[in-house]
Structure 1
């Protein structure tokens, strides 16, 4: 697994001695759990059933979203954009119910 900038190494399948896999995986687990909590609040937990913590070959934690429907990815992008707009303008973001209702239909 490598992003277009080459930042993320491929996921660890064979573990090597001396690499702090547990530390990276634990951080990923905490982050995946925090994201899962927010998805539950938004009613999106069933849209991300493949959300899991993982680790790459150098011990960096990874959070995998899994395979999602295009509508779920679009809704997540809409919610992130709304949060960024709210942060930039010092206002509160739209409510999750409003965001979900206004998301484009498939």
Structure 2
């Protein structure tokens, strides 16, 4: 999916026989739908109007966030950090011995 610098391959503009584009697009569609549902729950769906699935030349699924406002990117980053912090806190609490 990425080159040695971690850059995503180009979008598939022309399809090549033998590459599983549908599989990659289907995976991207499921992921985009899941993300859209979570953004809707958070009230951020209007901030990501360009959210859509796609596929690259190698058949890898892609999820485009579209062009977003800097504030929307900041909100998404803060939401991810908060979620990861809560997840880490839950893991640490589960590792503590009972009664400590």
TM-score for the superposition, normalised by structure 2? 0.84
Backbone CA RMSD of aligned residues:
1.8
Q: How does 1:1-106 map to 2 (within 5 A)?
A: 5-6=5-6, 8-90=8-90
Cα distance in 2 for residues equivalent to 1:82 and 1:53 = 26
Describe the superposition over 1:57-91 as per-residue Cα deviations: whole angstroms up to 9, x where unpaired: 00000000000000000000000000111111118
Tell me: CA distance 1:3–1:78, structure 2 relative to 1, closer, same or farther (3 Å): farther
Q: Which runs of 4+ in 1 moved over 4 A?
A: none
What's the CA shift for 1:30? Answer: 0.2
Unpaired segments ≥5 residues, structure 1 = 92-106
Bigger radius of gyration? 2
